Amino acid sequence: MEELIKKAGILIEALPYIQRLYGKTVVIKYGGAAMTDQVLKASVMEDITLLKYIGVNPVVVHGGGPDINKTLEQLDITPQFHDGLRITDAQTMEVAQMVLIGKTNKEIVALINKAGGKAIGVSGIDGNLIEAEQYKTDINGKQSDIGYVGNIKRINSKVLEIIAKDEYIPVVAPIGIGDDGHSYNINADTVAGEIASALKAEKLMLLTDVEGIKPSKSADNIAPVLTAAEVYDLIENGIIDGGMIPKVLGCIKALDSGVSRTHILDGRIPHCILLEIFTDRGIGTMITKGSV
């Protein structure tokens, strides 16, 4: 009986959060260890499916870096990166598109369906969901491109709104389409932030392979909350670097566009999405526009 009462207590604790999120959109960027560990895969799919069944509208944006790297290595191509972004020549672009759309996206759709959800996989090419242009970056003081890497011009959110209507869960592969007809590889964290902005989502949640963001290099614990100004300071001081930069910038862009809360979560924790949304303590680092 005590065990049953504890379970009832967990549900009661979750009730105000369920009420607050009912009918709202939550954008989840799925990546890292949660995409490779079978137990973590199952827990994420269960979390996403449960959200849909209790009246929340999850939209999933996925990465696929490990799968892309594995395929490139099989083709004797060495993966290269600049500031956390993949350098993408024509051959790498073909591989990225094949892996992200043809393999990773469909695997996630199948896993959600297996968990009892109804997922539909799309890429940014479908319905011009993600309109992109070539991304330019500073390399050795010179404005340069790093291949078929995209900068998002526009998100046609109506595509996702139509899919998410009723019982469906959109699963988005981060490939955009340019006016020139070329496909562009886009960082999945950036795509998640832009989609959350376009949908005016209640929450943006980025699954990572770290506990959260530390306030300094010597800190033992993560910061539970950081403001946008504090994030910029951490980037300038080199504490936030590499692949974490597009994550936090995606969060800030989403906040500037009306998203209420953004979160950096440890995807290595089973059911991390439910723990963040439906418990009083939460996990990871929340990024806000200002002090809370």
Residues tagged in the binding site annotation: 64-65, 86, 185
For residues 84 and 246, is the Cβ–Cβ distance under 8 A?
yes
Spatial distance between the Cα atoms of 236 and 24, rounded to a whole number of angstroms: 34
106 membership: H or E segment, kind and range: helix 105-114
Q: Which residues are annotated as a binding site for substrate?
A: 64-65, 86, 185
> Environment class of residue 255 by beta-carbon count within 10 Å: exposed (0-12), middle (13-18) or buried (19+)?
buried
Question: Phi, psi (5° rounding) for residue 287?
Answer: -110, 130
Spatial distance between the Cα atoms of 245 and 231, rounded to a whole number of angstroms: 9
Q: How many CB atoms lie within 10 A of CB 106?
A: 14
First to last CA, the chain: 39
> Environment class of residue 215 by beta-carbon count within 10 Å: exposed (0-12), middle (13-18) or buried (19+)?
middle
Tokens for 176, please give them: 């955009």
Spatial distance between the Cα atoms of 111 and 234, rounded to a whole number of angstroms: 37
CA gyration radius, the chain: 19
Pair type for strands 175-178 and 130-139:
parallel
